[in-house]
């Protein structure tokens, strides 16, 4: 029931989202004009999601010691936002699991995806590229480079140099964005847990066969179009990243 409800809301929300959520900084747009499908910002995240759904309980001195009224109080609260790690970020896990907002209504999946995209973009104070493709694109586009944060957050994981194939990128850009909402937790779908390197590699189903992408079902389920079910399809650059990472030996790097 809960699942069905989440999906019914998307249609309405997309149009609201598209209409209200643009905050375009021209200089940043010019830098990445073709690749960025949508520009968002912390202030639109706050106005569109946090203020209406959380602030009545999470203002200054809010419930559970959580103050969601401004950027600094969010970033300085330990474990609330862990850059590039949505599954360690309570701001994400509490809404993804449906625990928050306390007493409901459950947050719709579009808003949950926006919070994930913001954290995965490095939780910038300013604009960020929403990697959740709300607008379908006819041609493959390169992965958007997140614009630099105006006030760098306290904890920053340095990005990998562009041509190093890393498991960290596979986890944060692909699995965490498109898979772990079903493939993690106590009962992961299909008994496939993609929330960590160890869990992905330990699976007896040959989820990842080092050196052989076409024998790895994490890869073939995507290329056959089975996963994620009901889309959105994984960006071709990320499919290639997964292929290259597996064929390079599926290292924990």
In the shown chain, the binding pattern of residues 164 to 203 toward ligand HEC, with x for contact by CB under 6 A and - for none, equals --------------xx-xxx-----xx-x-----------
Say how many residues touch ligand HEC, by CB under 6 A. 36
**Torsion of Cα atoms, 245 then 85 then 125 then 234, to 10°:** 50
List CB contacts of 122: < 8 A, sequence separation 6 or more: 83, 84, 128, 146, 149, 153, 156
Q: Considering only 15-23, 48-56, 155-163, 245-253, which stretch makes contact with ligand HEC by CB under 6 A? A: 48-56
Confirm or reject binding of residue 207 to ligand HEC (CB under 6 A): yes
Confirm or reject binding of residue 228 to ligand HEC (CB under 6 A): yes
8 Å CB contact between 117 and 178: no
Asked if residue 228 has a cis previous peptide bond (ω within 30° of 0), the answer is yes
Q: Which two tokens stand for residue 156?
A: 């920053």
Q: Considering only 19-27, 40-48, 88-96, 155-163, which stretch makes contact with ligand HEC by CB under 6 A? A: 88-96
8 Å CB contact between 2 and 98: yes
**Closest distance between ligand HEC and the C-beta of residue 141, in Å?**
18
Distance CA 2, CA 104 (A): 11
| 50 vs 147, beta carbon nearer ligand HEC | 50
Confirm or reject binding of residue 28 to ligand HEC (CB under 6 A): no
Distances (CA, A) of 240 to 69, 108, 121, 183, 234: 39, 30, 20, 21, 10
Determine which residue in the list 39, 83, 95, 119 makes contact with ligand HEC, applying CB under 6 A.
Answer: 95
| 119 vs 179, beta carbon nearer ligand HEC | 179
Interface ranges with ligand HEC (CB under 6 A)? 53-54, 56-58, 63-64, 66, 80, 90-91, 94-95, 100-103, 107, 178-179, 181-183, 189-190, 192, 205, 207, 217-218, 221-222, 227-229, 234
């Amino acid at each position: 029931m809960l699942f069905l409800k989440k999906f019914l809301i998307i249609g309405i929300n997309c149009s609201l989202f598209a209409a209200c959520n643009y905050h375009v900084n021209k200089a940043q747009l010019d830098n990445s004009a073709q690749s960025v499908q949508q520009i968002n910002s912390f202030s639109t995240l706050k106005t569109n999601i946090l203020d209406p759904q959380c602030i009545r309980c999470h203002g200054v001195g809010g419930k559970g010691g959580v103050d969601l009224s401004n950027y600094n109080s969010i970033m300085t609260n330990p474990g609330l936002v862990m850059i590039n790690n949505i599954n360690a970020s309570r701001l994400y896990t509490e809404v993804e699991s449906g625990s928050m907002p306390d007493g409901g209504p459950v947050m719709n999946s579009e808003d949950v995806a926006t919070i994930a995209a913001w954290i995965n973009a490095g939780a910038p104070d300013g604009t960020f590229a929403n990697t959740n493709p709300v607008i379908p694109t006819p041609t493959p586009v390169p992965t958007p480079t997140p614009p630099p944060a105006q006030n760098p957050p306290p904890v920053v994981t340095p990005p990998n140099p562009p041509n190093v194939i890393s498991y960290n990128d596979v986890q944060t850009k692909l699995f965490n964005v498109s898979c772990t909402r079903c493939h993690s937790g106590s009962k992961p779908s299909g008994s496939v847990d993609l929330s960590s390197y160890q869990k992905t590699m330990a699976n007896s189903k040959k989820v990842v066969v080092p050196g052989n992408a076409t024998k790895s079902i994490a890869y073939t389920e995507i290329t056959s179009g089975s996963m994620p079910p009901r889309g959105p399809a994984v960006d071709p650059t990320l499919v290639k990243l997964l292929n290259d990472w597996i064929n390079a030996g599926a290292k924990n790097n």
